[in-house]
Amino acid sequence: MRGALGVRPPSPVACPGLPPLVPALPAQRWRPGAPRHPTRAAVARAPRHEPVTKRGAQPEAAVAEECEEEAVGVIMCASVKYNIRGPALIPRMKTKHRIYYITLFSIVLLGLIATGMFQFWPHSIESSGDWSVEKRSVRDVPLVRLPADSPVPERGDLSCRMHTCFDVYRCGFNPKNKIKVYIYPLKKYVGEAGVPVSSTISREYNELLTAISDSDYYTDDVTRACLFVPSIDLLNQNSLRVKETAQALAQLSRWDRGTNHLLFNMLPGGPPDYNTALDVPRDRALLAGGGFSTWTYRQGYDVSIPVYSPLSAEVDLPEKGPGPRRYFLLSSQVALHPEYREDLAALQARHGEAVLVLDKCSNLSEGVPAARRRCHQQQAFDYPQVLQEATFCMVLRGARLGQAVLSDVLRAGCVPVIIADSYVLPFSEVLDWKRASVVVPEEKMSDVYSILQSIPRRQIEEMQRQARWFWEAYFQSIKAIALATLQIINDRIYPYAAISYEDWNDPPAVKWGSVSNPLFLPLIPPQSQGFTAIVLTYDRVESLFRVITEVSKVPSLSKLLVVWNNQNKNPPEDSLWPKIRVPLKVVRTAENKLSNRFFPYDEIETEAVLAIDDDIIMLTSDELQFGYEVWREFPDRLVGYPGRLHLWDHEMNKWKYESEWTNEVSMVLTGAAFYHKYFNYLYTYKMPGDIKNWVDAHMNCEDIAMNFLVANVTGKAVIKVTPRKKFKCPECTAIDGLSLDQTHMVERSPA
């Protein structure tokens, strides 16, 4: 035997058909922040609402509609018809009777109208209620007066962790692994003197609650909820009264020391000392805060969120590709501590044109809002557009650690240089900020230029791309912020269903381009384990027995499995089977399907599987043993004997399939091939599209489907082991079907 085997090095020319490409199941990927399609529940619900409202306004118009809908209504329709026919009889009757009839019918009619009214009575209450809830004004919400002595929650417990302060029992068993979030109805809280505790609700908090309400997490059933979101707006601490707000929180119906309550805050603290977390006492409630420092942030319990920049909605800033820009470093913040200003001025003096330090404009011209204008000496710049002119943008601490400018900077694809010691970056629990930002300690501010200069250009471009992606996914809207926060909490509660680092951090382009090999660990399985041979057969018993006898001579064979695909005929009796040294099992199938060959049978106890046709008798036991040895060194690949090639046919504009002697191989026939049994599982349960059904319907091409599947998930080529004799295979004739199949599948493999 010649221990030789072929390899097809995947060259760019030969490879496009087996896109190394995309993991098998990209469709289910969740992309946080991307506009999610409305959920089924929401779709089903939306049209229902409208008729209810209309019905309340015009009950009569709704009758006919109702008749079609309900079974009871059919009876009523009949009675209406009866009544309509009734008056036609009236002129034929005597006057005495006529009065009688008229009275009678009017009674009936009145009764019917009363019925109709009564029937819609509860609905109309409901709909008018609906109407007021649906379309009422924020000013009309119920008023709650807080007594001056109502309880105040304790201050936040700094040692809180999910397994100490969070009541996970409320989340219970949930097959979808989604937490249920309840939102308290909006109320207006006033102190004893009638002074409002805070402004009722801000635009952003309203958006936030709407986003939660529209998401899969929402439930309106307070008993089933696992997380509670108060409708008390805490986004800005400056616009609320701390003690009274705390009292308002404490009287929430399910408050219970704040357990499982989630509070959102973006601007914590107030003058003069500006705490880095919300000052409102909140006991055990989780805080999603913008501007945490490491001293107030409860790792694994709180969530650090961005400070939303209202400019995100106001200004349209098209994406600008990565690359070097006009200014190397830019500072656009206006309220900076004089010390920082001095440092910045020094930087600018040293590096000249490359550094641009902007400040407020002293004389604002024609109605441009101050937020949209920045000046350097006499030169005015549009903000945030100017951010797109810089490669790096400073994000310095102000009074607060969290700065809205971070959002603008990311959006401009400018790499943020974060100089705010101890700041816990937004979503730092899941986002890898090293990929999108540079964090510089405050005392190193004067060296910032040289630190940035040392970053290679390719890495800067990568960071620019990453910054823009973070903005698109997690910063650009209140909705994105809300959903990312809930996803983080959800992942803590259902860790086994958590989404991965790659899902959080990889931009879509990377996700599509990368392959994560399911068998990535370099391992050479022990030889002692051997392999399981699977022979798919229909009725060629004689040839089958020859194959069994041949295969059983292979030293490493540990089990032989015959898949009997013929439902009309019983397999031969036990005594007739050839006597071999390894266990032989016959599996009878329910249906004559080609996919049965690739079913992950429980009987397969080895990792290596040899799929062999019942007519492959030309392979010697040495060749099969060598094939197994080769598989051990490449357990994530298909190792086969007869090879095939796919080619792009320029004339026909589709893929074609080549079996003649060629210099390249991209497939091996599964008429005789070793592979990992995990691919059986993938073939049976995870095959994309309806390829599996197509194969079963056409009784062909299962080998191509398998080759595509393995190449798609591993991104690797097959290995061809050279047999001593030329292979005669029965399948080589069906070229038409095969090429058809290939186009079929190429359409399905997202390239």
Partner 1 sequence: MQSWRRKSLWLALSASWLLILLRVFPVLRLAEPARRQAGAPQGWPRWLDAELLQSFSQPGELLEDGPQPPQAPRGGSCYRGACFDASRCRGGGLKVFVYPAVGPISETPRKVLTSIEGSRYHTASAAEACLLILVLSPDTPAGECHPELPQWDGGKNHLVLSLHPAPCLRIFQLGQAMVAEASPTMDTFRPGFDVALPLLPEAHPLRGGALGQLQQHSPLPGVALIAMAEERGGWRTVGTNFSACPWDGRCEQDHGPKQTHPRATLPNATFCLIPGRNPDALHFLQALQAGCIPVLLSPRWELPFSEVIDWTKAAVVADERLPLQVLAALQEMPLTRVLALRQQAQFLWDAYFSSVEKVIHTTLEIIQDRVSGASAHPSLLWNSPPGALLALSTFSTSPSDFPFYHLQQGSRPLGRFSALIWVGALGQPPLKLIQAVAGAQHCAQILVLWSSKKPPPPRWPETAVPLTVLDGHRKASDRFLPYSAISTDAILSLDAHSSLSTSEVDFAFMVWQSFPERMVGFLTWSHFWDETQGGWGYTGERANEFSMVLTSAAFYHRYYHTLFTHSLPKALRTLADESPPCVEVLMNFLVAAVTKLPPIKVPYGPWHQEAKPPLVPGSPRLRSEPRPAAQDCINQMAAGFGHMPLVSSRLRLDPVLFKDPVSVLRKKYRSLEKP
Residues 168-197 that bind partner 1 (CB under 8 A): 168-169, 172-173, 177, 183, 186
Give residues 337-366 in contact with partner 1 (rule: CB under 8 A): 337-340
User: Is residue 239 close enough to count as binding partner 1 by CB under 8 A?
Assistant: yes
Among 455, 618, 732, 734, binds partner 1 (CB under 8 A): 455
Q: Out of 520, 583, 649, 699, point to the residue binding partner 1 (CB under 8 A).
A: 520
Would you tell me how many other CB atoms lie within 10 Å of the CB of residue 577? 17
Beta strands, E only, 459-516? none
Residue 661 as a binder of partner 1 (CB under 8 A): the answer is yes
Ranges within 392-421 binding partner 1 (CB under 8 A): 397-400, 403-404, 421
According to CB under 8 A, which residues from 46 to 75 bind partner 1?
A: 48-49, 52, 72, 75
Cα(661)–Cα(728) distance, integer angstroms: 13
Among 53, 259, 275, 514, binds partner 1 (CB under 8 A): 514
Give dist(CA 586, CA 592) in Å, integer. 15
Contact between 709 and partner 1 by CB under 8 A: the answer reads: no
**CA gyration radius, the chain:** 36
- With CB under 8 A as the contact rule, the residue among 300, 323, 508, 730 that binds partner 1 is 300
Which of residues 154, 214, 389, 615 is near partner 1 by CB under 8 A?
214
Q: Residues 149-168 vs partner 1: string with x where CB under 8 A?
A: ----------x-xxx----x
Of the listed pieces 32-40, 550-558, 691-699, 712-720, which binds partner 1 according to CB under 8 A? 712-720
When binding is defined by CB under 8 A, the residue of 43, 99, 144, 370 that contacts partner 1 is 370
- To partner 1, the closest distance from the beta carbon of 38 in angstroms equals 12
Q: Smallest distance from the beta carbon of 270 to partner 1, in angstroms?
A: 10
The residues in 554-593 that bind partner 1, with binding defined as CB under 8 A, are none
Per CB under 8 A, which region of 245-253, 481-489, 660-668, 727-735 contacts partner 1?
A: 660-668
Which residues, including other chains, have CB under 8 Å from residue 685's CB and lie 6 or more apart? none
- Each as own residue / partner, the long-range contacts of residues 472-475 (CB below 8 Å, 24 or more positions apart, any chain) are 472/33, 472/34, 473/31, 473/32, 473/33, 473/34, 474/32, 474/33, 474/306, 474/426, 474/427, 474/431, 475/306, 475/308, 475/309, 475/312, 475/406, 475/407, 475/410, 475/411, 475/426
Structure tokens at 398: 């102000």
Please state the closest distance from residue 589 (CB atom) to partner 1, in A: 21
Q: Whole-angstrom distance between the N-terminal and C-terminal Cα of the chain?
A: 40
Give the pairing of strands 608-613 and 531-537: parallel
Q: Which is nearer to partner 1, 72 or 699 (CB)?
A: 72
Residue 389 or 442 with smaller CB distance to partner 1: 442
Q: Which stretch binds partner 1 (CB under 8 A): 229-237, 555-563, 581-589, 690-698?
A: 229-237
Q: Which stretch binds partner 1 (CB under 8 A): 232-240, 245-253, 562-570, 736-744?
A: 232-240
Residues 594-633 that bind partner 1 (CB under 8 A): 602, 604-605, 607, 626, 629-630, 633
Q: What are phi and psi of 169, to 5 degrees?
A: -65, -30
Q: How far apart are CA 481 and CA 326, in angstroms?
A: 31
Asked if 238 interacts with partner 1 (CB under 8 A), we say yes
Task: Answer whether 661's CB lies under 8 Å from 650's CB.
Answer: no
Strand ranges inside 177-293, DSSP E: 181-183, 188-190, 227-229, 262-265, 286-289
Least distance to partner 1 from the beta carbon of 681, Å? 5
Check: CB of residue 41 under 8 Å from CB of residue 492.
Answer: no
* Range 248-287, binding partner 1 (CB under 8 A): 266-267, 271, 274
If binding is defined by CB under 8 A, does position 30 make contact with partner 1?
Answer: no
Do residues 7 and 493 lie in contact, with contact meaning Cβ atoms separated by under 8 Å?
no
How far is it, in rounded angstroms, from Cα 198 to Cα 489?
Answer: 27
Question: Whose Cβ is closer to partner 1: residue 125's or residue 144's?
Answer: 125
686 binds partner 1 (CB under 8 A): yes
Given the structure tokens 């009796």, which residue do they identify? 573
Q: By CB under 8 A, what part of segment 88-107 binds partner 1?
A: 97, 100-101, 104, 107
Out of 90, 125, 345, 346, the only residue in the binding site for partner 1 (CB under 8 A) is: 125
Strands (DSSP E) contained in 542-607 are 557-564, 584-588
CB of 49 to partner 1, least distance (A): 8
Q: Are 391 and 365 in contact (CB under 8 A)?
A: no
Residues 6 or more apart whose CB falls under 8 angstroms from that of 230 comprise: 184, 249, 252, 261, 263
- Omega of the bond prior to 635 within 30 degrees of 0, cis? no
Choice between 151 and 324, CB closer to partner 1 = 324
Pick from 454, 568, 575, 653: which binds partner 1 (CB under 8 A)?
454
